[in-house]
Amino acid sequence: MNVSPEKIKQLRAEHGWSQEQLGEVAGLSYRTVQRVEKDGNGSPETIMAIASAFSVTPDELSMEYKPTIGNGAVNWSGILGLGLCVLFVAWMIFLAGKGTLFFDCISLVLVIGMSFALLAMTCGWKQALEVFSLVRWLFVEPSAAPFTQRHLPVLRKLIIYLYSSGGICTLFGLVAVFTSPETTSNNIYLGTTVAFLTMIYAAVIAELIIRPLKNKITYMLSFN
């Protein structure tokens, strides 16, 4: 069964896996993975195992990424989808009671700023700025954007860094709450809630903005 070696390499890069790691996830030997990436040939069982590791169909492994994507049109489905997500989040905040507890600019800046810094350390400032600017594609599609697949592994790193930043900021916040001499039994619950805001912000940005953007780009590269 024939597949695209380049597609497998790119999918591997998106997941941050080496050939050995792909083999472990797929239940294949390193030499088998190496041979498939080199020749583009493998048994149906081997291709199925690799496809399952990437959560794609075997047919998708034979497809090359499109050289350019997007027609510059307004992405009404993206606008509607994001609008509904905002509505549902607002509804959850309303159901939770005092909505003002869920808004803290400092926590938001900490999560975004630290995530950006980590991404810049890994991929460079230019790539980090470029990836953050891709959020606009949720509203307006690009116009014949070339080599867009290069953004996929960076977006995956950004999702990881968002959770890392949220977790670290939350831990520091909890330490500050429980060690501060000003903390009393009356304000400890409020302080704990504020400390967890960074983790909430990280999850919302990662799962409602960055991951949908990554999946949209993957879809456009493969199927449009």
Q: How far apart are CA 176 and CA 130, in angstroms?
A: 35
pLDDT at 165: 96
pLDDT at 59: 83
pLDDT at 179: 85
Query: Residues near 33 by Cβ (< 8 Å), separated by ≥ 6?
Result: 19, 20, 22, 23, 26, 50
Using one digit for the tens of pLDDT, what is the confidence trace for 88-135? 988 887 777 655 567 888 889 999 999 999 999 998 999 999 999 999
Using one digit for the tens of pLDDT, what is the confidence trace for 141-198? 888 888 888 888 899 899 999 999 999 999 998 998 888 887 777 778 778 888 888 9
Q: Do residues 8 and 37 touch, judged by C-beta distance below 8 A?
A: yes
What sign does the CA torsion over 36, 40, 41, 46 have? positive
Q: How far apart are CA 180 and CA 182, in angstroms?
A: 5
Q: How distant is the alpha carbon of residue 138 from its chain centre?
A: 14
Instruction: Write down the pTM of the prediction.
Output: 0.81
